[in-house]
Amino acid sequence: MAETRNWSARLTELGITLPSVVPPVAAYVPAVRTGNYVYTSGQLPIVEGKLTIAGKLGAGVSDEDAKAAARACALNALAAVDALVGIDSVVRIVKVVGFVASAEGFTGQPGVVNGASEFLGEVFGDAGAHARSAVGVAELPLGAPVEVELIAEVQPES
């Protein structure tokens, strides 16, 4: 059996509070468990019910603002995991997929999605190291500049 971690204490140590789960904006659920894995739906940079930033990279949204938005997306994904199985049941983050609304010619998607990856590393340490895709897209829901989903391995159900 995998080692149990106290990720909730780590979040407290970092001064991070998991937000409430962002309600779906369409016909889906925030997260689904199958076996020892939790798959989150794509999360937007929504804080306290509002999209924090809109627009595209390479056309008005700065790399740094988008990187901060990716971090917010990852935080929302962790909230979805926590609501479904509890954050302390996470064994490791397996995969992150980041979508970046990109103007023609923008190729900095990996740097933007680093906002999510670096945040997960800060929280989970080595257990936060993950496989990843960073994909440029024409548009995202609600005009968001970034969307992040993740797959987490979790403790077996008891």
- The 10s digit of each residue's pLDDT in 40-55 is 999 999 999 999 999 9
- Sorted by where each begins, the domain ranges of the chain are 7-20+34-154
Q: How many CB atoms lie within 10 A of CB 157?
A: 9
Q: Which pLDDT score, from 0 to 100, does residue 4 have?
A: 55
Tell me how far apart the alpha carbons of residues 52 and 147 are, in angstroms, rounded to a whole number.
12
Q: Is 80 exposed, middle or buried (0-12, 13-18, 19+ CB in 10 A)?
A: buried
Tell me how far apart the alpha carbons of residues 57 and 67 are, in angstroms, rounded to a whole number.
10
pTM metric for this prediction:
0.95
Tell whether the model's pLDDT for residue 5 goes beyond 90.
no
Mean pLDDT of the chain: 95
* % of the chain beyond a pLDDT of 90: 94
Question: What Å distances lie between residue 125 and 36, 117, 122, CA to CA?
Answer: 20, 11, 6
Annotation: CATH topology of 7-20+34-154 = 60s Ribosomal Protein L30; Chain: A; (3.30.1330)
Q: Which pLDDT score, from 0 to 100, does residue 128 have?
A: 97
pLDDT in tens, 73-127: 999 999 999 999 999 999 999 999 999 999 999 999 999 999 999 999 999 999 9
Q: Which pLDDT score, from 0 to 100, does residue 2 have?
A: 46
Q: With cut-offs at 50, 70 and 90, classify the pLDDT of residue 1.
A: very low
Handedness of CA 17, 146, 106, 109 (dihedral sign): positive
Q: Which pLDDT score, from 0 to 100, does residue 158 have?
A: 77
Closest listed residue to residue 61, CA positions, set 139, 145, 147, 141: 145
Q: Which pLDDT score, from 0 to 100, does residue 106 have?
A: 97
Report whether 91 contacts 32 (CB < 8 A): no
What is the arithmetic mean of pLDDT over 61-70?
97
